[in-house]
Amino acid sequence: MWLPAALLALSLAAAALAWGAPWPEGVVWAGLVALGALVWLGHLWRRRGRRHWIVVDGSNVMYWDGDRPRLETVARVVSDLDRRGYAPVVWFDANAGYLTEGRYARPDLLARRIGLPAARVHVVSKGMPADPQIIADAERLGARIVTNDRYRDWQEADATLRLDGFLIRGRVAGGQVRLEFPG
């Protein structure tokens, strides 16, 4: 969102500088650029306001299309959620990179592979379970979780997990994402 804001600021500055200059068409051009930047900002703002956070259990989802873990499967689910108007946040276990890349993978690498900004992809530390982080992040964001895991080890301590529709199950079959949203 910084690019259209910077464009707006620069075009307004250019219009102010051109105002007293002998070339009035500079004001017109700067004004048109400013108008375009405003429209762009408005579109981004409206789109941002309609989106709802959703947390994806990436280590679970990467197994949805066969027996082998694939980041492409996570990318398909993320893309489907984005088309539905959700803003996905993905969490992985520390071994996700070893399973898919043959080596440790930092969040920025995984983010590139699944098509998300690095700030929305997280990898838990080695030896730590991802489940508590996934659950806490979903609760903090007021979001649901996309996973086939039932988090049975955590249900007694966290009543949110027992809420109908909090956990969204799914699968990928024939390249098509099938999510089981309630209702």
Give 36-87 pLDDT, tens digit per residue: 767 776 766 665 555 799 999 999 999 999 989 999 999 999 999 999 999 9
The number of residues in the chain equals: 183
**pTM for the full predicted model:** 0.73
* Joined tokens for residue 106: 């930092």
d(CA 151, CA 79): 24
> Across all residues in the chain, what is the average pLDDT?
87
At residue 103, φ and ψ (nearest 5 deg) are -160, 170
CB 46 within 8 A of CB 28: no
pLDDT: is 182 or 167 the higher one?
Answer: 167
